A and B are shown apart, each in its own frame.
Chain A
Amino acid sequence: MKFFAFIFLAMISGLASAAEPSSSGLSDTLEERVKPCIICHRDADRIDRDAYFPRIAGKPAGYLFNQLRNFRDGRRYYQPMAILLENMSDEYMREIAEYFAAQPYAYLEPVVPALTPDEIKSVETLMYSGDPERDLPACSACHGEKLMGVQPTIPGLLGLPHAYLAAQFGGWRNGGIMRGQIPDCMSEIAKKLTQEEVNALVQWLPGLPVSGQSTGADALTPELAQRCRTILSGKEVTR
């Protein structure tokens, strides 16, 4: 009987809320819908230096959408994201990606890296010139001069926690847990780096202040546009 009464009440309140959305006190917004994301990917004022979770605000929408699909479809492995996204549609994930891309940055204050001047010099060389001998492109060639990413699918590298950066390099180098798109450029690049270089990179990057926007797609050289074409095209995957 109680159960019936409850269903009755629930139905009445359902009708009431349908007629008058504000009566539930809930706004029909995407902000309300992405609460499950915000618990980890915090707002700017609640960001936690020691947290593992990367900033997603202000990253290119195409990049965010690709990652959401990769998590859902098993090409990028992270259990909490895989479970959360299992029953999401492409349309809804694209909307969520665009929402976060348009959000103001929630970034960490820079941390001065504990690196020797030599280490800093070698990181800066990799960052802005690459190493032609090992066929390593400069990081800035893909991720933008300001390392803030390139529209629509290449992420910025600044304002990310050290632990997150280190984990991604670990994933790319060891394979298996990180199955990116094809060609999987970051896996190839990460495998050519030494462990010392990786350690220095992931300390150096959080030392830079977040500034500027991600740049337009025309900033890519034709060679790189060709190399990353499947990622840039954002090919839809059938489900």
Chain B
Amino acid sequence: MRNLSEARLTSIWRIIVCVAGGLLSLVQMASAQPLTDSDTEQVRRGEYLARAGNCMGCHTTRGGEPYAGGRKLNTPFGQFVTPNITPDKETGIGSWSGEDFWQALHYGKSKDGRNLYPAFPYTEYTKVTRPDADAIFAYLRSLPPIAQTNPPHKINPPYDNQALLYLWRKWYFNEGVYQPDKSKSDEWNRGNYLVQGLGHCNACHTPRNVWGASQDDQLTGGKIMGSYWYAPSLISPLEAGVSEWPVEDIVELLSTGINSHAVTSGSMATIVRQSLQYLSDYDIRSIAVYLQSLGEKKGDAKAPRKARKMPEQVRQYLALGQEVYEKHCQDCHGQSGEGIPKIYPPLAGNRNVTMSPPLNTIRNVLYGGYPPATAGNPRPHGMPPYQHFIRDTEIAQVVSYIRNAWGNRGSLVSPEDVDNSRGSEF
């Protein structure tokens, strides 16, 4: 046994020596290149910032080459296809200069001067600083060029009209790098910059008007364009406002995908996997501090109506839901909806369950899912998809039940609501 471990140790040393030697020669090779240390440092920073902005999330198709684009975003204005942003000269941005990239990110203008559609969130990216933009560009330049031509957008008339886009920008686009608020802490400002700028949380968490413009900078929630999920308000204590959560709990949810009282699902689970789990402790904490400051306190919200006595008909409807719950849900989520913290989310007091619209909870029941596999939660427990096993009427009953059991209060859900919640981008 000892011999074996000695042999192992020796071979480990050999590996270390070889790797060190390899690194040394790499360093020597690198020093022969015109690249300087500050260049590689910039590329590394750019890689991190590209993660924080989750550029890859849109600029990669499922299973496709990273950053080669081709992902289709279906919106009421038509289908947008994300471009290839690898440094390929013909099909990517290989012929772009740093100035061209800045024009796109900051002003929403393509290299040829065309106005870009705001499906590319330059309305948020405009807040990104020039050094950060340059670092991201340096990183993209360092990627292997991928020759991949993506299909053109299919934009419905009249939205394909550049003049209309010009007007849209006049009305809704406010160009300008983020200006720190000197009365607030560095953490708060960093969080604001990441949430409102690079992280473009607004892209989902603000309601959009009929022209597809975010109503304002308030993260008051909305149905996600091009997705089937509802992005809850980050302000309201009835949705996902976190003013009453300790900063540590917010950090845990955003970096691991789960905490004792909540779990991420749908589009947010994907954001945690692709982006948030890679953020530095300082950055994720800054986001948490900023989000905590945004939320309204429970007392600020409308006082919940005094619980009235339920009509007999409603009681019967909920009793049917309870039967479904006991049969399919109770094993994991518990008799009193208490769940198992960090494994199966509690349903009692869970705002994802009670918030309006009930879209996300219905989708959780229909499609199930695993929370994101992250460094902090690498082997998550999951929720089975019930779409093949429970009829819409029963899903409506059980969702109505959990929205009104154990002190929860929420509107009743109908089978039509269940059917209207179907759909996926897959």
Contacts and interface: CB of A to CB of B under 8 A. Distances in A.
A35 B384 contact: yes
B338 interface: yes
Interface residues of A, number: 42
B342 interface: yes
Given A24-B340, A80-B385, A10 B373 contact: no
B327 interface: no
B424 A83 contact: yes
Interface string A217-239: 00000000000000000000111
B382 interface: yes
Contact of A73 (B62, B270, B383): B62
Contact of A83 (B237, B261, B379, B385): B385
A84 B385 contact: yes
Contact of B260 (A10, A36, A91): A10
A227 B225 CA distance: 44
Contacts of B368: 36, 83-84
B81 interface: no
Contacts of A39: 384-386, 389
A13 B63 contact: no
A74 interface: yes
B61 interface: yes
B53 interface: no
A6 B261 contact: yes
Contact of B378 (A11, A36, A89): A89
Interface string B237-278: 100000011000100000001001100000001101100000
Contact of B338 (A13, A72, A75): A13
A1 B383 CA distance: 30
A83 B426 contact: yes
A13 B261 CA distance: 11
B378 A3 contact: no
Nearest to B407: A2
B71 to A, nearest CB: 10
A84 B66 contact: no
Contact of A84 (B237, B298, B341, B382): B382
Query: In this complex, which of B371, B382, B386, B388 has the most chain A Cβ atoms within 10 angstroms of its Cβ?
Result: B382
A2 B349 contact: yes
Nearest to B346: A10
Interface string A87-104: 111011001000000000
Contact of B370 (A10, A26, A87, A91): A87
B408 to A, nearest CB: 10
Nearest to B61: A74
Contact of B379 (A2, A7, A35, A92): A92
Contacts of B382: 33, 35-36, 84
B343 interface: yes
A50 B179 CA distance: 63
B259 to A, nearest CB: 9
Contacts of B244: 3-4, 7
A139 to B, nearest CB: 28
A87 B382 CA distance: 11
Interface in A75-89: 75, 77, 79-80, 82-89
For chain B, which range describes its interface: under 10, 10 to 19, 20 to 34, or 35 or more residues?
35 or more
Query: In this complex, which of B249, B298, B381, B387 has the most chain A Cβ atoms within 10 angstroms of its Cβ?
Result: B381
B341 A13 contact: yes
A130 B82 CA distance: 45
Given A3-B244, A6-B349, A83 B367 contact: yes
Contacts of A238: 66
Nearest to B342: A14
A49 B84 CA distance: 47
A237 B388 CA distance: 31
Interface in A29-76: 30, 32-33, 35-36, 38-40, 72-75
Interface of B is mostly: loop
Given A36-B384, A82-B426, A92 B245 contact: no
B302 to A, nearest CB: 15
A84 B245 contact: no
Contacts of A75: 63
Interface in B355-400: 367-373, 378-389
Contacts of A85: 370
Contacts of A1: 298
B273 A87 contact: yes
Given A3-B244, A87-B269, A36 B379 contact: no
B348 interface: yes
Interface string B69-86: 000000000000000000
A74 B261 contact: no
Contact of A89 (B270, B373, B388): B373
Given A2-B407, A35-B384, A40-B388, A86 B270 contact: yes
Nearest to A26: B340
A83 B378 CA distance: 18
A178 to B, nearest CB: 14
A211 interface: no
Given A33-B382, A39-B389, A6 B348 contact: yes
Interface string B317-356: 0000000000000001000001011110010110000000
Query: In this complex, which of A24, A38, A40, A91 has the most chain B Cβ atoms within 10 angstroms of its Cβ?
Result: A24
Contacts of A24: 340, 343
Contacts of B273: 87
A174 interface: no
Interface string B48-60: 0000000000000
A87 B368 CA distance: 12
User: Which 3 A/B pairs are nearest by Cβ-Cβ distance?
Assistant: A73-B63, A74-B62, A14-B341
10 contacts: A7-B244, A36-B369, A36-B382, A72-B63, A80-B385, A82-B62, A84-B367, A84-B370, A85-B370, A87-B257
Interface of B: 61-63, 66, 237, 244-245, 249, 257, 260-261, 269-270, 272-273, 298, 332, 338, 340-343, 346, 348-349, 367-373, 378-389, 407, 424, 426
